[in-house]
A and B are shown apart, each in its own frame.
Chain A
Amino acid sequence: MSGVSRIKEFNLPDLGEGLTEGEILAWLVKEGDTIELNQPIVEVETAKAAVEIPAKWAGQVRSIFHPEGSTVEVGTPIIAIDTDPGAGPVEASTTGAPAADLPTPSAASLAAVEIAPEEGMVEPGLIGGVAPGGRTAVLVGYGPRNAPAKRRPRKGASPERPATPAASVPPAPAPAPVPAAAPVTAAAPVTAATTVNGNGRPGGLVLAKPPVRKLAKDLGVDLGSLSGSGPLGSITREDVQRAASGTATAAEPPTVAAPATSAAAFGADREQRIPVKGVRRLTAENMSRSAFTAPHVTEFLTVDVTRTMKALDRLRGRREWRDVRVSPLLLVAKAVLLAVRRHPMVNSTWAGDEIVVKEYVNLGIAAATERGLIVPNIKDAGRLTLRELADALTDLVQTAKAGRTSPADMSGGTLTITNVGVFGVDTGTPILPPGESAILAFGAVREMPWVHKGKVRPRQVTTLGLSFDHRIIDGELGSKFLRDIGDFLADPEAALLAWT
């Protein structure tokens, strides 16, 4: 037995099904102890259970890598065991890399040691051997992971390939819209509206039952242009009929179904008790967490948006925009996206010892639905044209109203707009969604007396409220960002010309 295989490191396994980490509750052995096979060595608590882990090898405990109380990722070495302590000291020359004496495991030892089989016992590809791609062959889905997951390169891929859109696509938890087998098409600009339908399916593949296809043909509806609401994103009869009748409008403020507070709902004590669950519980948890971890600052800006409203009218009058839902929110979203480009720091996350600034903007839109407040987001909204943004907004609102918003739609948001104006109020001090650093409240647009060109005129005026995380964003940056949004809305054409 060589020195390399004599010292064995035990990696924290996935103790449940799909767990990623565990907390070391207690070490049941200490360095220098002689241990037997399957002797309990450590108590580990995961999200599912507290369990004792039995020793995988007999021998002597050489090193313990993590103290009690520490949280360890699955696949990380936690203990090193000398499986042949009677054979004298381990010489550095025979162990290769610094595997001999390590307070913390080195990369080299990770690669060399885990479940080190006796040499010659295990062939490449077998458990414990070296699998294609250099990883240690273990179980599919379980067992140690020696390095961050890395995709093997595809044959023929150019190493000098410039950054493609695929590389900057935000890490949305949804399935990648472009199959990995098509790196060439991935290099072409990916736009949500043109190559992928609303369900993330490549545009060429449309799911619909034969009678629905017949109906679409009869009604002259292009199935490829629809986003299906059926199982697996398939297009339903209703989807086709809605498209045919042109009722694909949206974005009235989704009405909030107030809890049933009719007299009957109250007990004798004239109090009603509503269980906290679902969206309400989630909202409560998120809001409390955010409010008491991120130091919020809120600033306000009142803006004359008359030109924005006129621009919207002109858009609506254009033939190619005839069927598009155009609302003031669209230009507010555009203003935010352009302002982010000028101040990228606002689109970031506080991650404890670092700030993660994102190149992509997953633009969250707070929506009141019958289920409660949800915040779906438009993935990589900064890459969309105005028309694509309008379609995405319409789709987002319709999906939310229909109660079909998926968890993937709601996760990964980077910056949010809450359109409180639809409720007829002027502004508010919004609370940041956890993980985001800025949220904009867009108030009602009212006709107000306003000094315009030296005279008091009736103008369309609104108030913007911007909350931001003061850990990341100072008053100066927050103010500039809000000012830019206001400038855009005051004169969108000029801002577009000046900034893009």
Chain B
Amino acid sequence: MAKGDPGVTTTRGRRAAPRAKRTAATAGGDPELVQLLTPAGERVESAFGPDGTEYRVDFTDEEYRGLYRDLVLVRKLDAEATALQRQGELGLWASLLGQEAAQVGSGRALRSQDMAFPTYREHGVLYCRGIDPIMPLGLFRGVDQGGWDPNEFKFNMYTIVIGAQTLHATGYAMGVHMDGKTGGDDGEAVIAYFGDGATSQGDVNEAFVWASVFNAPLVFFCQNNQYAISEPLERQTRVPLYQRARGFGFPGVRVDGNDVLASYAVTRHALDNARHGQGPSLIEAYTYRMGAHTTSDDPTRYRIASEVEAWQAKDPIARMKAFLEKQKIADGSFFAEVDEQARAESVHLRERVLAMPDPEPVTMFDHVYPHGSPELDEQRAQFSRYLESFEGSAH
């Protein structure tokens, strides 16, 4: 989807002035939460961050429809992967169900030169970066390392170790800054994704310190989906997570992570600040993991149904659909067409997953070093001899 600059407008107002407006803008909601689209699908003209920054978006109808299409496709492909795991075709899957808006909003806010460092759940961001959704499935199927070229797509490898990628992103962003690639509209920015559980990791806190004192062009994008596997948020923090940024010396903002418009606006603003040399910032995308942490876990054992239902009412796709219908931006034929595209793409994904070849055992020695090593070569030779020792061996 080609998307021009949809003209995010942000103005840094005086703290006191917009207070009444701010309350009005998020009526009934959390005054700390930047929201541009209510769960009922009502558009909010603008919203203010804790430092008085005003956020608004100005999308064309085509762009609104494009965001909706992204959300639906990302959810459908994710559901297909979950089904494939249940059918024994994937070893594991970490579903993004419920977090589509935070990922699509932030993913579409990236400019082509920006670099992203994902966790293992950023399937929506991966999709927005133009990477074939088949790419991570080899990893979860256990037939390859889930590799793509991070430089080609400006999207690093999925990182399984919790929070480790925030340090990678910090180092990368410091490099960008040292190379003098910040300071203008064409400057580069970096975004690091992580979850609420990761904020308890030393790595993440170290990344905060380094990014802060070296003024790294980095956006820390925390999807607070309320649970670190089974541990609830109150076991991670006693203050809202976005407020932690202040202690490290950079701004923090909480955005409605189920609102694709606000997620876009807040991320675009933070990235632009970074690319202009304004240093790091923290975005807490307040959302909810509707499914399990991964397919190996049972969320009904640690959270109650009423909580899930309450979040169901805040669904990111339902509110976008309500908005499009109300504003007559899209009609039934559009929704049907999107659904059909999602169905076709998921079937295509399924077929390609089932056709993934099993790797030859010796290929595990590939790609360890670019040019091999004597010890590795010997190991490979030994292993080949071992495989050949079996009857019926094709080797």
Q: A: which residues have CB within 8 A of B?
A: 10-17, 37-38, 48-54, 56, 115, 122, 125-128, 131-133, 137-144, 152-155, 181
Whether A152 touches B391, Cβ cut-off 8 Å, given contacts A53-B86, A54-B83, A127-B356, is yes
> How far apart sit A54 and B85, CA to CA, in the bound complex (Å)?
10
Q: Is the CB of B391 within 8 A of A126?
A: no
| A142→B390 contact, CB < 8 A | no
- Cα(A182)–Cα(B90), bound, Å: 35
Give the chain A neighbours of B79 by CB distance below 8 A: 38
CB-defined interface of B349-372 with A at 8 Å, one 1/0 digit per residue? Answer: 000001111100000000000000
Given contacts A53-B86, A54-B83, A127-B355, contact A15 B391 (CB under 8 A): no
B247, CB-defined interface residue at 8 Å: no
Q: Is the CB of B143 closer than 8 A to any CB of chain A?
A: yes
Residue numbers in A under 8 Å from B56 (CB-CB): none
A49 touching B298 by the CB < 8 A rule? yes
Q: How far is the CB of A481 from chain B (nearest CB, A)?
A: 44
Asked if B142 and A142 make an inter-chain contact with CB atoms under 8 angstroms apart, the answer reads: yes
Chain B residues lying within 8 Å of A56, measured Cβ to Cβ, are 87
CA distance A143 to B90 in the complex (A): 8
**Does B87 contact A122, Cβ atoms closer than 8 Å?**
no
Interface centre among A38, A140, A143 (most CB of B within 10 A): A38
A132 touches B297 (CB 8 A): no
Q: Which of A49, A137, A153 contacts B390 (CB 8 A)?
A: A153
Complex Cα distance A161/B389, Å?
Answer: 18
CA distance A51 to B83 in the complex (A): 11
- Chain B residues with Cβ below 8 Å from A125 are 357-358
Give the interface centre of B87, B298, B394 by most chain A CB atoms within 10 Å: B87
Asked if B298 and A132 make an inter-chain contact with CB atoms under 8 angstroms apart, the answer reads no
Which residues of chain B from 97 to 144 have any CB-CB distance to chain A below 8 Å in the complex? 141-143
> Beyond A54-B86, A56-B87, A142-B88, is A49–B297 a contact (Cβ under 8 Å)?
yes
B10 interface residue per 8 A CB criterion: no
CB distance from B295 to the nearest CB of A (A): 7
Closest to A13 in B: B88
9 closest A-B pairs by beta carbon, nearest first, are A13-B88, A49-B298, A54-B83, A56-B87, A16-B296, A143-B88, A38-B83, A152-B390, A142-B91
- Please state if A126 and B358 are interface contacts (CB–CB under 8 Å): yes
- B87 to A139, Cβ gap below 8 A? no
B292 within 8 A of A: yes
The interface residues of chain B lying within 8 Å CB-to-CB of A10 are 87
Choose one: B141, B347, B355; the contact of A139 (CB below 8 Å).
Answer: B141
Binding site for A on B (CB under 8 A): 79-80, 83, 85-92, 141-143, 292, 295-298, 300-301, 347, 354-358, 386, 388-394
| Chain B residues near A16 (CB-CB < 8 A) | 295-296
Please, how many angstroms separate the alpha-carbon atoms of A152 and B392 in the complex?
A: 8
Cα distance A364–B355 when bound, in Å?
A: 50
Asked if B298 and A126 make an inter-chain contact with CB atoms under 8 angstroms apart, the answer reads: no
Q: Known contacts A131-B358, A139-B142, A139-B143; is A51 also within 8 Å of B89 by CB?
A: no
Residues of A within 8 A of B142 (CB): 139-142
Would A155 and B391 count as touching, CB distance under 8 A? yes
Contact: A49 with B292, CB < 8 Å? yes
**19 A-B residue contacts at CB 8 Å?**
A13-B86, A38-B79, A48-B297, A49-B301, A51-B86, A54-B83, A54-B87, A115-B354, A127-B354, A127-B356, A127-B357, A132-B392, A138-B358, A140-B358, A142-B91, A144-B88, A155-B389, A155-B393, A181-B386
Give the Cβ gap from A425 to chain B, nearest Cβ, in Å: 46
- Contact (Cβ within 8 A) B87 A154: no
> Which of chain A's residues have a CB closer than 8 A to the CB of B88?
11-14, 138-139, 142-144
Contacts known (A125-B358, A141-B142); A13 close to B390, Cβ less than 8 A? no
Contact partners of A12 in chain B: CB under 8 A: 88
Contacts A128-B354, A133-B392; A139 near B386 (Cβ below 8 A): no
Q: Are A143 and B358 in contact (CB under 8 A)?
A: no
B295 touches A15 (CB 8 A): yes
Please report the C-alpha to C-alpha distance between residue A12 and residue B80 in the assembled complex, in whole angstroms.
18
Which B residues are CB-close (under 8 A) to A53?
86-87
